[in-house]
Structure 1
Amino acid sequence: MSDTLPLVMSVTSGKGGVGKTNLSVNLACCLARMGKRVVLVDADLGLANVDVVLGLTPQKNLFHLFHEGASLRDVLFETPYGFSILPASSGVGEMLALSTGQKLELLESVGELEDEVDCLLVDTGAGISDNVLYFNLAAQERLVVLTPEPTSLTDAYALIKVLKQTHGVEHFKVCVNMAQDAKSAKEIFSRLYQACDHFLGGVSLDLAGIIPRDAAVREAVVAQKPLCVGERAGRPAALAMERLAETVSRWEPPRQTDGNIKFFWKKLLFG
């Protein structure tokens, strides 16, 4: 058994439309190319679209795990890009809020992957719903994605505020997406940093990456192919995502302290 646990990282946002899922998919691609064993969990349980962005059609998803007796192995879907996904369902009201029993069930199921995964990426929904907060509490690292839009900044602050004041979470990574240039991206990060420093004492924010606005991103989404694969891999946004993946790859996963404790959500459910 490995002496370290997998890195469990959420990719999250206060506002929809910031490119969070696209970023998650390309981050998974880049980490897999570095030799990391990656599983991407689509945790936007009622409005899932990781499979759509990838142009894939899994036969089962997390709905089947919770409601139809499927095993995690039945749901786990290997992509052509070197990583696997745990797809969720779209337009299914029963998935909008997980019961305590379902959280425990997923804990036990994902715990089976402990020795097979180096990085577990969790693409959360947007906002501050119970599911979004739950998955962010489960993670060891939280990557908050925002864009230069004022509403994105406001909603990112709201998410951080709830996690800090209600649940005591103090450490966040930040990625500025769709940036016009590095200067404006650093300015929007600085505004978020100052707001958190002024109103939420004790919060630590680190700027993990800047992804430039790039027409190739939309082209890749329309083509249902990852930006970082194929003819668009040399575009500015793709190169920036590779740099972000290199940064993430240097984040240290926790040391293994008890082989009998499942790595996923143990802090939330048992801490």
Structure 2
Amino acid sequence: MTSNLPMVLSVTSGKGGVGKTNMSVNLAYTLSMAGKNVVLLDADLGLANVDVILGLAPEYNLFHLFHEDVTLDKILFDTPYGFRILPASSGVSDMVDLDKGQKIDLLDAMDTLEDQVDYLIVDTGAGINDNVLYFNLAVQERLLVITPEPTSLTDAYALIKVLKLQHGVERFRVLVNMVKDQKTAREVYLKLLNACDHFLDGISLDLVGCVPYDTNVRKSVIAQVPFCHKFPKSPASVAVRQAAKKLDAWKVTPSTDGNIKFFWKKLLFQERSVA
């Protein structure tokens, strides 16, 4: 990155089962191995699983920030892989349900991170519920993970449509996961692009890369270790590193949404637009 401001990036999807959280974890790992200071926020507050994928058991999560006055420093969890996570819990109400005072508390807490990180990666839930929309509205860049499955494309289009028509979001990045080759990935991407071009005006859809189907990914999930760490030379790991290089070339300027304080301020004042 060419800016001192942190990049705030969501990794999102229209449906579950596309490998979204796995991509979030491995992108965080890859960027941290490239010397970046990365924080991964588990924003699927109802079904949090970043810590599960990593085989970790943090003592605190965002619930403790809101209900037990635990500081962000204590909640931030250092993983063995060079990046930190902000874990959530299945017992935490989603962000839209937090009252204004809690959102201000979160904003104040996140301010302490702004000079410490290069990337805040937000792993959202899947679908088009308020929680998913809420986080996708606040970030600077949105990385949409899709697969060749027809339902993945249908649901990805639904997410794009809602964000475009109801909230004016027009720019998306796309990562095609679990494909047999680049040709297939390109075909999948073009199907989504053509649907957007035909039915939605003004959508920018940039193909960031494709991650091939790789048996080492499943082995790593079972072992609860990032596949880019356990199998660094595997096809999936190589593809994630290529995608991470593209991410690192994206520019952050003071006039965009690319700093953490602005991210949380947008969350704070976004209530009406998703109500």
Indicate the TM-score class for this superposition, using the shorter chain for normalisation: over 0.9
Matching residue's letter, 2:144: V
Asked if the contact 2:13–2:145 (Cα under 8 Å) also holds between the matched residues in 1, the reply is yes
Structure 1 contact 110–264 (Cα < 8 Å) conserved = no
Q: Which residue number corresponds to residue 108 of structure 1?
A: 108
Deviation string for 1:107-163 (max 9, x for gaps)?
A: 221121000010000000000111111111111000000100000000000001111
- Aligned Cα root-mean-square deviation (Å): 2.0
Residue equivalent to 1:200: 200
Q: Classify the secondary structure of the residue corresponding to 1:248.
A: helix
Partner of 1:85: 85
Secondary structure of 1:233's counterpart equals coil
| Partner amino acid, structure 2, of 1:121 | I
The verdict on how the C-alpha distance between 1:14 and 1:103 changes in structure 2, with shifts beyond 3 A counting, is farther
The 2-side partners of 1:206 and 1:254 are apart by 19
Contact 1:111 1:263 in 2 (8 A): no
**Shift of residue 96 of structure 1?**
6.9
Q: What SS does the corresponding residue of 1:124 show, helix, strand or coil?
A: strand
- Within 2, Cα distance between the matches of 1:240 and 1:164? 29
Partner of 1:240: 239
Q: Distance in 1 between matches of 2:217 and 2:103?
A: 34
- Secondary structure at the counterpart of residue 265 of structure 1: helix
Cα distance change on mapping 1:160 and 1:256 into 2, 3 Å: closer
Q: Aligned equivalents of 1:160 and 1:261: distance in 2?
A: 23
Q: Which residue matches 2:273?
A: none
The 5 Å alignment of 1:107-256 reads 107-230=107-230, 232-255=231-254
Does the CA-based 8 Å contact 1:98-1:131 persist in structure 2? Answer: no
> Alpha-carbon deviation of 1:184?
1.0
Asked if 2 retains the 8 angstrom alpha-carbon contact of 1:40 and 1:83, the reply is yes
Following superposition, the deviation at residue 268 of structure 1 comes to 4.7
Partner residue, 2:67: 67
**Residue ranges of structure 1 left out of the alignment (5+ in a row):** none
TM-score (norm 1): 0.93
In structure 1, what is the Cα distance between the partners aligned to 2:226 and 2:3?
32
Residues 183 and 122 (structure 1), Cα distance of their counterparts in 2 relative to 1, 3 Å cut: same
> How far does the alpha carbon of each residue in 1:75-129 deviate from its partner, in whole angstroms, 9 at most, with x for none?
1001111110000002x26347432423333222112100001000000000011
Tell me, what secondary structure is at the counterpart of 2:159?
helix
User: Contact 1:63–1:95 at 8 Å: present in 2 too?
Assistant: no
| Cα distance in 1 between the residues matched to 2:8 and 2:89 | 22
Equivalence for 2:48: 48
C-alpha distance in 1 between matches for 2:103 and 2:134 = 9
Residue 93 of structure 2: aligned partner = 94
TM-score calculated relative to the size of structure 2:
0.92
Instruction: Provide the rounded CA distance (Å) in 2 between the counterparts of 1:138 and 1:100.
Output: 17
- What SS does the aligned partner of 2:228 have? coil
1 CA distance for matches of 2:161 and 2:264?
A: 21
SS of 1:11's equivalent?
strand
Structure 1 SS opposite 2:262: coil
1: distance between equivalents of 2:252 and 2:99? 26
Stretch of structure 1 that moved more, 154-163 or 99-108: 99-108
Q: Secondary structure at the match of 1:59?
A: coil
Task: Quote how far apart the aligned CAs of 1:261 are.
Answer: 8.9
Contact kept in structure 2, 1:189 and 1:207, CA below 8 Å: yes
The answer to whether the Cα contact below 8 Å between 2:179 and 2:210 also exists between their aligned partners in 1 is yes
Aligned residues: 266
**Unmatched 5+ residue regions in structure 2?**
271-275
Please tell me whether the aligned partners of residues 94 and 131 of structure 2 are also in contact (alpha carbons under 8 angstroms). no
